[in-house]
Structure 1
């Protein structure tokens, strides 16, 4: 399969302090491992210049929230703390627009048949961002913005969002609760950050799991819960919130996944995309803070997307 790996230089300029786990080095950890593993020559490496527009952002977020971010964007050399996890520097807002824009570029690329699927290696991530609130290092909900864009531009009736980050994708859940055009499937450690109230609606298959759950337990959830839901729904597009912080080596969570578990999950989703969505998958980097396990896991995820 033709797989595109997309980055943007603005992802390196957004930073939240030297001790913050969401470091620009996360992008290097993935790209370096792609090179060292020999995978890079077999995928399409793209540096996108696409930025989301206000219209794109406002399909998901409120105008008051967008104005809030603009009014609090700090001067060069200073920071604005939304909370202790979510910090703006001079470049953050531009990086957030570009991070969302890369997702839209990827959507167009798969629907115009330039590639079968894509992995968006950008920062800031997105799945904690609610319609009117930044949190958890997330400012714009990239995957939600891409979903609304795809539904609007390509007249989709059904798309699936799959989230395997260790943290609950609370923003995505809040945005799409009770929306029949989106099926969301996830697992996440619970109780754990962000510890928000779970939303139970017909289009949500979000499974809280206890700390120290291992790959075998997660694979059973995917097989028994996710797969029947996706097969029943028959999505025309699959989007992935790809957080790799459920890995056993990542100190940000207490789940015990191995990089091979991410490959197994991705293989399932690739098979689903062949059956229902004309191979169309767009994957978005969310969490993953141990550089070694992040690089290894993301490479196996991308290898699975590319079938190499």
Structure 2
């Protein structure tokens, strides 16, 4: 069946970042309520995630990193692990569940129960290094997903596309020496976390398999679309991925408080169409999209709706 899968769990709301933090439970509550109101949820394949095993998480993160997050379970409340990243007693289980949601979505696509999938998860993941909590991120959901594709399904080439307004430093660093994973990031620059320059193209055997497109503040739909239709299309036409993973942050929206870009809901729809076309042309439509950033509640929810509608319209 050519269907879009959607994975969500109310336990994602248990990760408590404290009052006033932008990466809050209301992000997912607003998305889910909006999709219900717009009658989207009844038209997609619902997936109920289970926590990822430590075996799968260890394929990407060090034991010390995992243990540091696990120790939050004994905390009395929200704890600042870095100046911007807050953990709580529920964070470890929630982060394992978020990663598990991505793995389950991959299973649904690989088993042909769905042609593509969107994972409405938190905490996000693309800033998490193999041994470092960073930028609201604990486990690198996309990175663990790529390793899972390689180990369980023997996927030869994985492309990771990251359109979050912030550079996906953790994902890039995880694969910059790996020629079997192509990493593309389009992001505001200068901006947090300060990485993602054009000159960063991978290292050693992975040289040439990283493509960064840093853009100045104020860029909108047409400029983004041009990059997707030229640089990204050309790169993936050469790489020929067997599966595409998408770090879908919606904080490049013009209303987002953590970015200074000018994308609209319609712009995210157009970018989604380009990614769907790449998946259709190279890997039988196999695509899993994972929520990263997006902190303007209404704008993020509306952008997710547009994103899902394009995924749902995919015909392979």
Task: Confirm or deny a common fold (TM above 0.5).
Answer: yes
TM band (smaller chain): over 0.9
Residue of structure 2 equivalent to 1:47: 48
Q: Structure 1: 5+ residue runs without aligned partners? A: none
1:226-237 alignment runs, 5 A limit: 226-237=232-243
Displacement of 1:27 in angstroms is 1.0
The total of aligned residue pairs comes to: 306
Judge conservation of contact 1:129–1:135 (CA < 8 Å) in 2.
yes
State the SS of the aligned residue for 2:193.
coil
Runs of 4+ in 1 over 6 A off after TM superposition: none
Residue of structure 1 equivalent to 2:94: 95
Q: What RMSD, in angstroms, separates the aligned Cα atoms of the two structures?
A: 1.3
Q: Structure 2: 5+ residue runs without aligned partners? A: 203-207
1:48-93 CA-partner distances (Å, limit 9, x unpaired): 2x11111111111111211222234443x42221112111111000
State the SS of the aligned residue for 1:56.
helix
Judge conservation of contact 1:247–1:255 (CA < 8 Å) in 2.
yes
Displacement of 1:41 in angstroms is 2.0
Judge conservation of contact 2:16–2:78 (CA < 8 Å) in 1.
no
Residue of structure 1 equivalent to 2:175: 176
Judge conservation of contact 2:72–2:88 (CA < 8 Å) in 1.
no
1:1-308 alignment runs, 5 A limit: 1-48=2-49, 50-75=50-75, 77-196=76-195, 198=197, 199-201=200-202, 202-307=208-313
1:224-275 CA-partner distances (Å, limit 9, x unpaired): 2101111111111110000000000111100110111111111111112112
Aligned-partner Cα distance in 2 for 1:26–1:142: 18
TM-score (norm 2): 0.94
TM-score (norm 1): 0.96
1:87-113 CA-partner distances (Å, limit 9, x unpaired): 111100000111001111111111111
1:193-249 CA-partner distances (Å, limit 9, x unpaired): 111364322111111111111111111111121011111111111100000000001
